[in-house]
Amino acid sequence: MEELATSISDRQKSTPIYMAMTTSRPAPDVFTPVLDDLIKNRVLFGFDNNISNIMFGMAGGFRRKMDIPGFGIYGKKFQTEYDQFRTPLAMNSN
């Protein structure tokens, strides 16, 4: 998690934005739309374009590394399963 956080610019760490990736593969079927909720609660932030491994904190308190190679979306909803990813890790500069 630390290596992801350190590769994100200070501006991105302090400003929640929609994920911007370099390719435009469709989201996996296991995802459902909740990005707006994650952004609103300041738990999902912007990533550098080359980051494809996203770490979420899960409801049970453990972490799962998801390989999400490029959604090609910016300012649009992407999908995540709310029940599984209700408590994503907040990435910040602390």
Q: pLDDT digits over 5-58, tens only?
A: 444 444 444 433 334 333 344 444 334 345 445 545 544 444 433 333 343 333
3-state secondary structure of 85: coil
Q: Which stretches does DSSP call E strand in 1-94? A: 53-57, 63-67
pTM of the model: 0.18
Mean pLDDT, to the nearest integer, of 73-94?
39
Contact 85, 34 (CB under 8 A): yes
Nearest alpha-carbon partner for 81 in 29, 41, 45, 40? 29
Which amino acid type is present at position 6? T
Residue 53 has a pLDDT of 37
